[in-house]
Amino acid sequence: MTPIFPGSVDAAGQRATLGVLGGGQLGRMFVHAAQRLGYFTAVLEPDPQSPAGLVSHHHIQTGYDDPSGLAQLSQLCQAITTEFENVPAQALQTLALTRPVAPSAAVVGIAQNRIAEKAHFSACADLSGVSCGPYAVIETLTQLRAVQNERADLLPGILKTARMGYDGKGQVRVKNTDDLTAAWAELGSVACVLEKMLPLTAECSVLVARGWDGQVVSFAPQRNVHVDGILAVTHAYEGNMPPALATRARDAAVSIAQHLGYVGVLCIEFFVVADGSEHGGLVVNEMAPRPHNSGHYTLDACDASQFDLQVHTMAGLPLPQPRQHSPAIMLNLLGDVWFGADGQRREPDWYSVLSLPGTHLHLYGKLDARAGRKMGHLTITGPDILSVKTVAQRAAGLLGLPGLDAI
C-alpha cells in the first residue's frame, strides 16, 4: 500500500479522496475525520438526506450494488471503506479490483454471518485465549430436531438469525424446546444460531486498528450497558473492569484481528461471565468490521479517535498508539428523548444539559426522531471518575434516559 497523503494532488489534478459505502452516523464521523486531515470525501448512499452524504464533498446517490455508482466511487477515490457490515460484500469485492478496500470483502462476509463468525472465533481460540460460548447452528428442520433432542444443555438460550440481526433485532429468547420451535418459525425458519444464556456480569468491547503493514494499536476495553438490546451507556476509564480481564480482552481482540489479516478499525464485543465459569470469565460474542457505537467517547476523551484511526489505516498512514486523557461516560441518545411521557414530541432540554461541565453533544443530523433510532450521543469527560459519574447521572435524568442505575 502506497500511502495516500492528505491534501495531495495526483498527476491528473485530482485531490486525494477517501470513499465510504454507507451514509449513516458512522460514515458522517469518518467524513469529518478525513476532512479535518485535508482529504476530500465521497459517500455512496441511496438516501438523499443521509447524515454522511449531507457533509461530504461527493454524494453518489445509488444503491450499494449499483454498477454505475460503484464505478463512479472507484473513479473518484484512492481508497474505500464501509461504515456498516451489511453492505453487499460483492460490492467491496468489485471495488477492490481497482482500489484499496479496507476492510476486505472476505472479512465483511464473515461478520455478516453469525455462523461464519463463530466458526472463526472457534478457529482462533487457541491463539486469542478466548472462546465463544456454547452454541448450535440451526439451518434445517433436521438440525432443529437434533438440537432439541441432543443439546438441551443450550436451553435456556437466545435464537439469533445468522444474518441482518443488530440492536436486539432478529433474536428471540427461548426457555424450552417448544419455545425454540415457535421462535424459529417466528424468525422465518431462516439460518440461525442458538446461543446458551450465560450468567453475565457485564459486557465490554475492544477497538483495534490494524494497518496494511500489520501494525496494530488498540484502545482499552470499554464496559457497556444495553437496554432492550441497544447500547445505552459506555464506561471508559481505568478500573471499569478487573485489570486481568481487561488485559485478556485487549490481547484477544488483537489476536483476532491478526488472525483475520484485518485492515481497518475492528470492534470485538465480549461477555464477562460469573466467576468460576468454564470460560475463565470472558467469552467473545461478536465483531463489527468498522468503528463502533461504544467507541464514540474517543472523539472527546482521546488524542486520536476511532475515526482518526480509520482514516490512517485505509490511507496507509502511521498508526499512533491512542492515549486517553480523560475518564469518560457516553450516553446513547435514541429518538425516545424527543418525546415526553404523554407521547407528544418535545425538544430535549439541551440548555440545562450543556450547562453541565464536561458535556460533549453529538447529534447525527437525522431529521426524523423515532423510538429506538440512534439520533446522537452525549459524552461526559472530567478530571476524575466520580465527577464524570455525577454529571452523567444528572444529564441522564434531565433527558429521561434509561439505565440511570447503571451509571
pLDDT tens digits, 278-297? 566 899 999 999 999 999 99
The answer to whether the annotation marks 85 as part of a ligand binding site is no
Annotated ligand binding at 335? The verdict is no
Give counts: helices (H), strands (E), the chain: 13, 17
- 8/363: higher pLDDT: 363
226 appears as a binding residue in the annotation: yes
Instruction: Indicate if the pLDDT at residue 259 is higher than 80.
Output: yes
Least Cα distance to 377 among 348, 339, 406, 344 occurs for 348
- The reply to whether 2 falls in a domain is no
For residue range 325-341, list pLDDT tens digits in order.
999 999 999 999 999 88
Q: What is the pLDDT of residues 93-135, one digit of tens each?
A: 999 999 999 999 999 999 999 999 999 999 988 888 898 999 9
For residue 389, say whether it is annotated as part of any ligand binding site.
no
243 and 283 share a domain? yes
pLDDT at 367 (0 to 100): 86
40: left (phi over 0), alpha (psi -120 to 50) or beta: beta
Q: What is the pLDDT of residue 275?
A: 63
Instruction: Quote the pLDDT of residue 139.
Output: 95
Kindly tell me if the per-residue pLDDT of 166 is higher than 70: no
Q: Are residues 233 and 364 in the same domain?
A: yes
Annotated binding residue 166: yes
Cβ partners under 8 Å of residue 398, min gap 6: 349, 352, 353
Q: Is the pLDDT of residue 11 over 80?
A: no
Q: What is the pLDDT of residue 86?
A: 87
Mean pLDDT score of the chain, rounded to an integer?
Answer: 93
Kindly report, residue by residue over 182-224, the tens digit of the pLDDT.
999 999 999 999 999 998 899 999 999 999 999 999 999 999 9
* C-beta separation of 18 from 38 below 8 A: no
Residues 79 and 142 in one domain: no
Q: Look at residue 56 and tell me if it is in a domain.
A: yes
Do 93 and 65 meet the contact criterion of CB atoms below 8 Å apart? no
Judge whether 173 is annotated as a binding position: no
Residues 170 and 298 in one domain: no
Pair 283, 370 in one domain: yes
The rounded percent of the chain whose pLDDT value lies above 70 is 97
Say if residue 207 is in the same domain as residue 273: yes
Q: Are 240 and 164 part of one and the same domain?
A: no
How many separate domains does the chain show? Answer: 3
- My answer on whether 39 and 165 are in the same domain is no
pLDDT, position 129: 87
Per the annotation, does 195 bind a ligand?
yes
Listed in sequence order, the residues at least 6 apart from 75 whose beta carbon sits closer than 8 Å to its beta carbon are none
Q: What is the rounded CA–CA span in Å between residue 394 and residue 185?
A: 44
CATH code for position 174: 3.30.1490.20
Q: Are 265 and 290 in contact (CB under 8 A)?
A: yes
Q: How confident is the model at residue 141 (pLDDT cuts 50, 70, 90)?
A: very high
Q: Does 129 appear as a known binding residue?
A: no
Whole-number percent of the chain with pLDDT over 90: 85
Residue that is last in its domain, among 80, 101, 122: 101
> Do 309 and 225 share a structural domain?
yes
* Predicted pLDDT at 402: 74
**Residue that has been written with the C-alpha cell 472530567 in this structure:** 382
Pair 219, 207 in one domain: yes
Q: Is residue 263 part of a domain?
A: yes
- Residue 271 CB partners (closer than 8 Å, separation 6+): 133, 198, 200, 202, 203, 282, 283, 285
Q: From CA 257, how far away is CA 303, in angstroms rounded?
A: 23
Q: Is 395's pLDDT higher than 90?
A: yes
45 is annotated as contributing to ligand binding: no
Q: Does 168 appear as a known binding residue? A: yes
The H or E element that residue 204 is part of is strand 200-210
CA distances from 287 to 85, 267, 302 (A): 10, 6, 22
Residue 113 placed within a domain = no
Range of the structural domain that residue 72 is part of? 17-101
Residues 262 and 329 in one domain: yes
Is 175 annotated as ligand-binding?
Answer: no
Burial of 7 (0-12, 13-18, 19+ CB in 10 A): exposed
Pair (188, 204) in one structural domain: no
Is 196 annotated in some ligand binding site?
Answer: yes
Cβ burial, residue 81 (10 Å; 0-12/13-18/19+): buried
On whether 26 is known to bind a ligand per the annotation, the reply is no
* pLDDT(31) > 90: yes
